[in-house]
Structure formats: C-alpha cells, structure tokens
Amino acid sequence: MAQDDAKRNAAAAAVDFVEDGMTIGLGTGSTAAFFVEFLADEVADGLLIKGVPTSEATQRLAESHGIPLLPVEQVERIHLTVDGADEVDPHANLIKGGGAALLREKIIADASDHMIVIADAGKAVDVLGKFPLPVEVTPFGFTITAKKVYDALSATGVSKPNVKLRELGQSGAPLVTDGGNYILDCACKAIPNVRETAVALSMIPGVVEHGLFINIARTVIIGDDDGAEILEFES
C-alpha cells in the first residue's frame, strides 16, 4: 500500500503540468494508470485535452474513464507525455518495458515536447541494470538476435548478461507485444555504459527497439509516502 501511495503522489504531481488544449501521451503501467485516473477527474470537471495511448491496455483504461483519445495517425503535436519507468538514474536515463509497451512508449515520448517520468522512490537507482533490460525483437530469427544482443551487452561492459525470452505466464509461450514482436529480458545487474549499450543494441538486425530511454525525459517526479519530489533536466 505504501508503494501505491508513492505512485499516486507522483501521478498527482504530474497533473499540475497539464494545461487546457493539450494533446497528452498516456503511458503504460501501474503508475501511469494512476495518472490516467487523475486526468479523468480533471476531464470530468471540464478540462479539454486529447490523449494518445501507448498501449492497447492504456487505451482501454482511458476509454473506460471517459478520456477523449486521438488516433496516433492523426497526431500533429504531442505537448506532454506522462509515463512510468522501471528504473531511473540520476541523469534521467531510464529502463522501460516491464509492461511490454516499450516500442510505442518510446515513439510517443520521443515525439513529445515534454516527457514526464513518474515513479515511486524504489525505482530511483545510481546505476541502471538491476531491473532486466527489455529488448523488443522480431519473431523471425529471434534466437540469432538473442545471441547478438548478448554479444553487444558483453562488448559494452555488462558482465555475464543473461538473455531470456519473455514468456506468457506459465504457458511457456512467448509473450507477444501489441506490435506483434517478442521481448528479450536481459539481466545485466549493472549497465556501466548506457549510451554505448543503447547504440550497440540499436545496430542489431532484428532488434525493433530497446528499453533504454536516454535524453528523452525532461522531468522526473519521484513519489513517496508524504508527497513527491520534482527534478528537472535538459533533454
């Protein structure tokens, strides 16, 4: 419950950045869901905004709360995106993708004028990597891609990475993302050179996207039991 309170406090603080007439990217995950719920209250009170969901799950949640949505094909400008993170370091570098929406999340966040990350204090780390790094890959040749992902991680300073295909529950079947891809979860313990690792992963054929978000977030809001701390960064 304490963690939920921290998530709510971070999400509530993000609502203060919303202005009438904005188009807002709506993130995926438990913390982002709290933001959607708070935003819905503002919409019910007369706030005029349009939402752009980053996943089918977020789309269903927003629709159920009466938030007007804009198809991504009709988007001309995204003023603000609010999303969670699995890890955030002191430089606002992120690991995202625990909710299997990292590709759409990155597309929307990168297209936004302003990205806000909301997280509980447990997501703040000194060095990224304790949370397994998600890498979205095409189903075709994914075992070949997995080997190349392992090699790229090792070559950029990750010690003995463990690369595993994400499975759907106990079924043993691969989890399939909204985009029809697979996810490799890469247990790294620590990623000492996040920029080098990001570049190396992006160069691998078969890698659709990876969960390292670098130089994208401008604001990080860390919630705790008592409130939220707002940190600003250049992007």
Q: Find the helix packing angle between 142-155 and 194-202, rounded to 10°.
A: 150
Amino acid at position 41, single letter: D
CA–CA gap between residue 125 and residue 169 (Å, rounded): 28
Angle at 189 between CA 127 and CA 89, to 5 degrees: 20
Quick check: is 105 catalytic?
Answer: yes
Nearest one of 196, 127, 187 to 160, comparing CA atoms: 187
Q: Which of 37, 73, 105, 167 is catalytic?
A: 105
158: buried, middle or exposed (CB in 10 Å: 19+, 13-18, 0-12)? buried
Question: What strands lie across the sheet with 87-88, from one edge to the other?
Answer: 87-88, 94-95, 212-213
| Residues assigned a catalytic role | 105
